[in-house]
Structure 1
Amino acid sequence: FMDPAKKSEPERRPTSHLTIKRSKYSYNSTLQLLTSWEDNLGLAHASNMTYKDGKLKIHQDGFYYVYTNICFRHHETSGRNDLTGKGIQLMLYMYHQKVTGSKPRYLMKGGSTKYWSSHTEHNFYCIYQGGIFKLKSGDEIFLKISYASLLDQSQEASYFGAFKLRDLE
């Protein structure tokens, strides 16, 4: 049963799609928090969610589809010849920080050990993750990756977001 008074109001379901901003990241295998995201230019938007310091904050309890795509790129002329011929572990972790302040936990992780060829001009690898999670108002989601200096910093290649599917029961 739908209340006729609410029928005229458009539903303001929370959605976001954040795209990577150009930034300098250090070169090492240590996991680094991705802190430079765009939330309102180009392909990016955030509605009924907020973004700050690398974290996307949820404002309504519910079940959300949360997703990310992160691409790594290495060009032979980059001066990083130490990356070719040996395995490097390219990893992506999505974290969930509960509003209660408990320790952040993994929502998803993915990656691979890549052996990039010195016989190829461009080396490229992407990781996509997506899943449905129960999130509460005040919860935050964020990403950490290894070898952040290899991040493909184009809005079509590296992004993350969420949208609410339905309310909690």
Structure 2
Amino acid sequence: MEGNMSEKRENENFLPPAKFGQGGKINSSPETVECLERQIEQLRNYIKGLALFSILSTLVLIIVFSVLYANIKWDVRNHEHPPKVGAQINKILEKEELCMLCAEIRLGPSPEEDRMLDHFVRKPGTAGKGEECCVETPKQLLQLLQQFVEKKYRTELAKGNIKIETSSATAPSDSHPAAHLMGTAQRHDQPTVPGGLFAISLYIWNEDLAFTNKVQYRHGRIVILEPGLYYVYSQVSFLEYFDNPSNVETGPRSLSHYIYRYNIIYPDGGEESMIQNSMTKCWAQNKAFGEYTSYLGAVFHLRQGDEIFVKVSNLTMLVLEPKLRYFGLFKV
């Protein structure tokens, strides 16, 4: 009797046999439709549960690393007694080397963010792996945990699993995300990489005519918090002086201007070129200087977590006048 009841309950979870009418067509009985709807609802609940479990697992990982980071930070800074956690970790690091791929904790493409990796012992990659960042002290481990948690947070933000309140105390609640950045009078140091492109990482972003509204500023990049269509624009001016006006044919013959976007979840390093312009220098005898201006602007669909920035082929030739070199965007 009990076996029959169990078999009956199991059969209720499956579709009853299909009934065929004239012409070989299946008759959709109310019992069949109801059972199908029940199975679809079970599948939908399973998918929701799986997605929720994935998000919660990531958040738990971030919380665990945050707590460990807080404990180590307190022990390293507390001078009233020998640090407990720090001393234990120090003993472990004396015996075993802890290394991670630098790409796993690099927070962005700017020179400032690359210099953050100098806190660690940087070692060239082996066996096809990239550069490694190793820790030898509790303080270095503290920095590694901080950057690891920050990168995980930005990754979840870019995936849309974390929402940020974009309201501003100084702007109306119905205003659109927008930003206008202005160039600084500070000269940029250009790496000695021939034929490369270099990000402009220095801007005025909260003074004079410059502002940010419902976006974030980060190392020369504008971080998108609300997905949607944006008009993105940039202007740069180059200025070149010639020591010998009778012979001006020196250096590269062209100048390049790009708008890029970076997102921590994008492949190939996270960078993507969006729009570009190239200018050919004007050669002439007895020329004392050359000045060139480029303007870029277009509408793009941007997602949450996209970081928009500008690259040029020569940082040392940038004009230092803020109103001749600017960069911004607004949501349309």
2:271 to 100, 104, 108: 104
| Aligned counterparts, 1:57-96, within 5 A | 57-76=223-242, 79=243, 84-86=248-250, 88-96=253-261
| Aligned counterparts, 1:95-134, within 5 A | 95-98=260-263, 100-102=265-267, 103-134=270-301
Aligned to 2:199: 33
The answer (yes or no) to whether the contact 1:34–1:144 under 8 Å persists in 2 is yes
Structure 1 residue 23 corresponds to structure 2 residue 190: no
Shift, 1:120, TM fit: 2.9
Q: Secondary structure at the match of 2:232?
A: strand
Shift, 1:43, TM fit: 2.1
Q: Normalising by structure 2, what TM-score?
A: 0.43
Q: Which has the larger radius of gyration?
A: 2
Shift, 1:116, TM fit: 3.9
Structure 1 residue 149 corresponds to structure 2 residue 316: yes
Larger relative strand fraction = 1
The answer (yes or no) to whether the contact 1:98–1:139 under 8 Å persists in 2 is yes
1:127 to 1:51, Cα distance in 2 relative to 1, 3 A: same
Q: Which has the higher contact order (CA 8 A, sep 6+)?
A: 1
Q: Secondary structure at the match of 2:182?
A: strand
Shift, 1:147, TM fit: 1.5
Between the aligned partners of 1:123 and 1:114, the Cα distance in structure 2 is 8
Between the aligned partners of 2:209 and 2:331, the Cα distance in structure 1 is 19
Q: Secondary structure at the match of 1:142?
A: strand
Shift, 1:88, TM fit: 2.0
The answer (yes or no) to whether the contact 2:282–2:290 under 8 Å persists in 1 is no
Between the aligned partners of 2:244 and 2:219, the Cα distance in structure 1 is 29
Identical columns (%): 26
The answer (yes or no) to whether the contact 1:91–1:110 under 8 Å persists in 2 is yes
1:118 to 1:31, Cα distance in 2 relative to 1, 3 A: farther
1:36-87 CA-partner distances (Å, limit 9, x unpaired):
01101122111111111121101111100000001101133xx487x82245
1:94-153 CA-partner distances (Å, limit 9, x unpaired):
111235243311110101221343523331101100000001121111111111100012
Coordinate RMSD, CA, aligned: 2.3
Between the aligned partners of 1:19 and 1:138, the Cα distance in structure 2 is 22
Greater than 6 Å deviation, 4+ residue runs: none
Which runs of 5 or more residues in structure 2 are unaligned? Answer: 1-171
1:60 to 1:115, Cα distance in 2 relative to 1, 3 A: same
**Count of aligned pairs:** 155
Q: Normalising by structure 1, what TM-score?
A: 0.81
The answer (yes or no) to whether the contact 1:99–1:137 under 8 Å persists in 2 is no
Between the aligned partners of 1:145 and 1:39, the Cα distance in structure 2 is 19
1:11-34 CA-partner distances (Å, limit 9, x unpaired):
121110111112233276421111
